[in-house]
Every structure is written in structure tokens, then in C-alpha cells.
Amino acid sequence: MSIDLHCHSTISDGTLTPTQLVRLAHANGCTLMALTDHDHTAGLIEARKMADQLDIKFINGVEISVSWRGRTIHIIGLNIALEDTTLQNLLAQVRAGRLLRLRAISDKLAKKGIIGAYDGTIALATNAEMVTRTHIADYLVNSGHVRKKADAFRKYLGDGKSCSVKHQWAGLSETVAAIHHAGGIAVIAHPMRYDLSATARRNLFSDFKECGGEAIEVHSGRTNLNDRLNYALLAQQFGFLASSGSDFHREGDYGGGQLGCCPQLPPICKPVWTLFS
Ligand code: AMP
Ligand code: MN
Ligand code: MN
Ligand code: MN
């Protein structure tokens, strides 16, 4: 069984349409997948249609931007009901701030002599509601201001870098509550990528547990065996189910693994997908 419960389409900052994404996952041997666009569920109906045609089991997903103790973290909702208004209202609120943030980042870039980032970035986003830093980085590459996207984050856009802007996303407890209201399961996305001290990580996991969060990703993108063992143990200690996803955005991209094929989880894990079968 080949499983991937985290990937992105053109609805947020991926480069494949939901249909193309499901086709590629299928071609890569995937048998169970979730589409988890940032802060948006508009790709799920199209993706499910293709998954049904290809006989892949499909789970509705979303990756929600959350502010927790002054940091940005990502919480995934799996198996959510699309029509749930509590969840949709929360997602709409999170998306509403994105254009304002783009304006603030573009103003900072302009002070560094990089003009036109606002319009240039909007022109690159396939979904005007979902302008992400990935799109701003693409603009900076396309306009010749940096050589590659990683440089855009290192120099300008990464947290705390010269043109970054602190942004208030959704709260942790309201996010978990909205996912639950929609009948879903809440998962901490890529906990190994947040640059947290051991203490901060324990705080995150216990806050999440207290909110009723159920799972963490034990594998994300390109983890190694050591990461997976560490996070499998943490999941066990905190009583979390284990999830697994490529975080695929586009071929060969930052952080993302190959779509549709994630490595086996350590045997001590209780996989989150046992809830879906
Ligand atoms: P946003 O939600 O607009 O802040 O954008 C976050 C997205 O930017 C993430 O989901 C990643 O896809 C991408 N991202 C974050 N950090 C990096 C990085 N260092 N290099 C390339 N892409 C990144
Ligand atoms: Mn992304
Ligand atoms: Mn993420
Ligand atoms: Mn992601």
C-alpha cells in the first residue's frame, strides 16, 4: 500500500492541477491519498472525481496556517466535510489576510529597490485568494532578483529575514475545533521542520494534545530514518497517531518528496489511516 496524505495543487502553491496531481500519484503507485492545499478546499471535488476514476482511495484534506506562541505552524485537517461552515469561515478568514501581507512584503521589497512585486506576484498565482510566499519567491526568481527560490527565502522571505512580515493566522485551538466540527482529524504538519528547541516542541505537542489534536506527521517530504524514529517515539509518548505525506508542490522542489510514495513508518506507529479504512 502506497500512501500520501499531504500534497499541494494549483489551488494553493503547487504547480499541478488537482486532476494532474491525482494522475501523477496514481502513476507513482499511490493507493490512498489526501489533497491538502493551504487554507483552501476548492480542489477537493475535482481531485476526488479523478481518484474515483483511477480507483485511488481519496481523503479530503486541508493544511491550515496557524499562529502558535508567536510562530507559524501548519495543521492539517484530514477527512473533513467540505460543507462545514465553521471550517469554511475559518479558512476564509485566514485567506483574507494574504493580500494585505503581500502588500506589506512588497513595500519592504520596494525599499530594497525591488519594485512591482505586488502585481508581479498576483499575476503568478493561479488562485488570486491564495497568494503565498512561494509565489513571491517565484516572482523574485523570474524577475532576476535571485537565482533560485531558496535564495529568495534565505535573503528576503524566510521568517525573520529582511522582508518578512509577522502575520496573525488562525489560533491553534480554534483550528483544531473547526477541523473537529467538520468531522475531521487534526494533524501537526512536518513537526521536524519548525526549528524548535526540545522544550518548545514538547510545548507544541502538549498544547496540541490539550486542544484535542490526534496526530503528527512522522514522515514529511524527505525525512531520514532517524527523523522518523524520533518522531515515532514522540508520537508514542504523546499518544498521537502517525501520518505521512510527501508535501509535494512541484517536481524537485524544496522540502517535498516524490508524490504518492512515502517510506514505511516505524512499526511502533499507529497510522492515522487506520481510521479511514
Ligand atoms: P506562506 O503560507 O505564504 O507563508 O508560504 C509558505 C510556503 O512557502 C510553504 O508552504 C512552502 O511551500 C514555501 N516555503 C517556505 N519556506 C521555504 C523555503 N525555505 N524554500 C522554499 N519554499 C519555502
Ligand atoms: Mn506550500
Ligand atoms: Mn506546510
Ligand atoms: Mn504542505
What's the pLDDT tens digit per position in 248-267?
Answer: 999 877 557 889 988 999 99
Domain boundaries, the chain: 3-91+169-276, 95-157
Q: Could you please state the CATH topology (level 3) that the domain comprising 95-157 is classified under.
A: DNA polymerase; domain 1 (1.10.150)
The tens-digit pLDDT sequence of the chain (277 residues) is 799 999 999 999 999 999 999 999 999 999 999 999 999 999 999 999 999 999 999 999 999 999 999 999 999 999 999 999 999 999 999 999 899 999 999 999 999 999 999 999 999 998 888 999 999 999 999 999 999 999 999 999 999 999 999 999 999 999 999 999 999 999 999 999 999 999 999 999 999 999 999 999 999 999 999 999 999 999 999 999 999 999 999 987 755 788 998 899 999 999 999 999 7
Q: Is 180 in the pocket of ligand 1 (CB under 6 A)?
A: no
Cell 503528527 belongs to 216
Q: Is 133 in the pocket of ligand 1 (CB under 6 A)?
A: yes
Q: Which residues contact 213 (CB under 8 A, 6 or more apart)?
A: 75, 176, 186, 187, 188, 240
Rounded to two decimals, the pTM is: 0.97
Ramachandran sector of residue 205 (left: φ over 0; alpha: ψ -120 to 50; beta: rest) = alpha
Q: State in words which class domain 3-91+169-276 has.
A: alpha beta
CA of 249 to the centre of ligand 2 (A): 7
Q: Is 65 in the pocket of ligand 1 (CB under 6 A)?
A: yes
The values of phi and psi at residue 110, to 5°, are -60, -35
- For residues 61, 47, 38 and 259, what is the CA-based torsion angle, rounded to 10 degrees? 90
